[in-house]
Amino acid sequence: MKKFIVILAAGLFLFAACEPAPVLSLSKTALEFSEAGGSQSIEVTANNVWDVTPDNSGIVSVSPSSGTGNGYFTITVKPNTTASFQSASVSVVCTSRGETARQTVSISQLCPAGSASIKIDEIVNADGEKVSASGGVIKMTVTANAPWTMFCVGDVEFNVSGGDAGTTAVEVTVPVNPGLEDRDLYFQLSCKTAAGGVDVSAVVVQAGGILVYAGETYKVKKMKDGKWWMTENLRYVPNGRTPSSDAGNVLAGIYYPLVYENGAAVFSTSSADIKERGYLYQSEVALGLSLGDITTEEKAKAVEGRQGICPEGWHVPTKADIVSLVGKSVGAATNPEAPYYDGANGSIAMLNADGFNMHPWGAVTINDLTKTTGTLMGALKGYEWLASGFYCGSSFASITYNTKDDPGSGIKNVMFTGFMPMTNKATEAEYTCNGSNVGFRSAASLRCVKDNN
């Protein structure tokens, strides 16, 4: 029996010694896949059992996972939805006679090139197709196939300025336009991967025409005379001044606006009326002076074009400003080339059709320094009655003295050229807005005009 076991062991040894060494070769050892992934087959040449094992990348699967002798297996790669190239490997092993033959298949996969789009869905607080000059919100949709980022040339705030592949709702908060002209808000969306990508742009226009001054926001417009004008009356209270509602206070400097009630003009302290109509200013205050500062003709002439209480870079209108706008002023030849001259007068209708918002909102008339109370002029824009008003100007028109032609007797009155809107014609289309002489102690509305238009 012992002899039999020895003979069997020797036989097995001879059999193992006769088994061939493992043979293994593959038709390919490197594969490339597109971003879409897919399947590719590899032929196997082997002389024994072989096994196929993918790495742990998670993007590769194989079928079949084993075989004997010559055959093939298929490698399947998932789609690549990342922004980077991917790689993986598959190991093939054939074992025989206690020895191992090994081959490795290297796999590389491309990624998609970045692709994206911007869709403007809505402009909240729109001015037509523009963002309002006072600001608003732009709602948009970003669609991308890879991570993306977006920025804007302009002082805006994003609720989200980047994201991953997919569709993202983006809201952009736009502040007040800091300039007078319309401005372009230029959005750039970047979506790029290792394979390349795109920069997509979109432009949204924000309207101009807003001036922020002393905490108040005013509408302004470049009129057809080529100049920027405020299209709202000034409602600024200078330091040390308090608006008055007493016509007997002839040294108030600034008064509340006027409205029309029960057949008469009256002062209104309503914030809504102040917003709509602004305050009424005596000329010296409008010109940034104190009451009593203008004591000579030379001083009266020196204030032409003065900034006064207007914002920096703006001034109280001059006679030249007025005539170039409406074409006519008392004591001046008409300018038939003025854009708002209707052939006979400056036209309120023509001005307002272009957004000037001019109305005869009244004035406090104080004819000269001898007066102890003012008279309230008509202040309504309803036009059921004869309404008129004054607007301040800075160009000297005339001077009178307590004793005629005697400067030594003291000033009685100084006149500056301002506007005088009136509803003194048969139809609204005929209402006039000519230049007119305004007494320097009368209190009138103020519109500022920009320097160096």
Residue 198: give its domain's CATH number: 2.60.40.10
Backbone angles phi, psi at 149, to 5 degrees: -135, 155
Centroid of chain to Cα 73: 61
Q: How many helices (H) and strands (E) does the chain have?
A: 6, 34
Q: Same domain for 293 and 421?
A: yes
What's the mean pLDDT in 16-30? 86
As a whole number of angstroms, the distance between CA 191 and CA 150 comes to 9
95 DSSP β-pair partners: 100
DSSP state of 440: T
Residues 30, 155 within the same domain: no
**Rounded distance between C-alpha atoms, residue 415 and residue 290, angstroms:** 17
Specify the pLDDT at position 429: 86
Question: What is the model's pLDDT at position 387?
Answer: 77
Percentage, residues of the chain above pLDDT 90: 85
Residue 268 is predicted with a pLDDT of 96
In a domain, 69, yes or no: yes
**Interval 409-437: pLDDT, tens:** 999 999 999 999 988 777 888 889 999 99
Tens-place pLDDT, residues 306-321: 999 999 999 999 999 9
Summarize the confidence of residues 256-267 as an average pLDDT: 88
**Based on the domain organization, do 251 and 126 belong to the same domain?**
no
Q: Are residues 188 and 278 in the same domain?
A: no
Q: Is residue 13 part of a domain?
A: no
Based on the structure, what is the number of domains in the chain? 3
In angstroms, the Cα distances linking 129 to 121, 177, 206, 215 are: 12, 15, 9, 27
Which pLDDT band holds residue 153 (cuts at 50, 70, 90)? Answer: confident
Please state, as a whole number, how many other Cβ atoms lie within 10 Å of the Cβ of residue 368: 15
Closest CA to 66 of 48, 50, 47, 46: 50
Claim to verify: residue 336 and residue 365 sit in the same structural domain = yes
Which of 78, 109, 140 is a domain's end point?
109
- Strand ranges (DSSP E) for 145-263? 148-153, 157-158, 162-163, 166-174, 183-193, 196-206, 210-213, 216-222, 228-230, 254-255, 258-261
Evaluate if residue 450 carries a pLDDT over 60: yes
Mean pLDDT, range 108-132, rounded to an integer: 95
- Per-residue pLDDT band for 97 (boundaries 50, 70, 90) equals confident
Q: What is the pLDDT of residues 63-74, one digit of tens each?
A: 999 999 999 999
Residues 235 and 335 in one domain: yes
Model pLDDT, residue 11? 46
Residues 243, 125, single domain; the answer is: no
Judge contact between 111 and 105, C-beta under 8 A. Answer: no
The secondary structure of residue 428, as a DSSP letter, is G
Q: Return the pLDDT at 17.
A: 53
| Residue 114 confidence class, pLDDT cut points 50, 70, 90 | very high
Residue 18 confidence (pLDDT): 64
Q: Judge whether 308 and 447 are in contact, CB under 8 Å.
A: no
Grade residue 154 by pLDDT with cuts at 50, 70 and 90. Answer: confident
Nearest Cα to 108, choosing from 85, 140, 136? Answer: 85
Tell me the average pLDDT across 242-261. Answer: 95
Q: Which of 46, 77, 109 is the last residue of a domain?
A: 109
* Whole-number percent of the chain with pLDDT over 70: 94
Answer whether residue 2 is part of any domain: no
Report helix, strand or coil for 74. strand
The pLDDT value recorded for residue 442 is: 97
User: Three-state DSSP class for 290?
Assistant: coil
pLDDT of residue 6: 43
Give the type of residue at 163: G
Q: Are residues 234 and 370 in the same domain?
A: yes
pLDDT for position 8: 42
**Domain check: are 77 and 120 in the same one?**
no
Sheet holding 126-127, edge to edge: 126-127, 130-131, 196-206, 183-193, 148-153, 162-163
Residues 364 and 387: their CA atoms lie apart, in Å, by: 13
* Residue at token pair 């609720």: 159
- Choosing from 45, 76, 109, the residue where a domain stops is 109
Burial of 248 (0-12, 13-18, 19+ CB in 10 A): exposed
What's the rounded Cα separation, in Å, for the pair 401 and 324? 31
83-94 mean pLDDT: 96
For residues 356 and 323, state if they share a domain.
yes
Give the pLDDT score at 346: 94
Domain assignment of residue 74, given as a range? 19-109
* DSSP per residue, 308-365: TTSPTTEEPPPHHHHHHHHS-BTTB---TT-TTB-SSSBBHHHHHHTT------B-EE
pLDDT score recorded for residue 453: 66
Residues 93 and 174 in one domain: no
Q: Which of 136-150, 304-318, 375-389 has the lowest mean pLDDT?
A: 375-389
* Segment 196-217, tens digit of pLDDT: 999 999 999 999 999 999 999 9
Most confident range (mean pLDDT) of 7-11, 174-178, 186-190 is 186-190
> Mean pLDDT of all residues in the chain?
92
- How far is Cα 46 from Cα 66, in angstroms, rounded to an integer? 12
Q: What angle do CA 33, 38, 42 make, to 5 degrees?
A: 75
- 96-117 burial: b if 16+ Cβ within 10 Å, else e: beeeebebebebebbbbbbbbe
What is the CA 250 to chain-centroid distance, rounded?
45
Residue 12 confidence (pLDDT) above 50: no
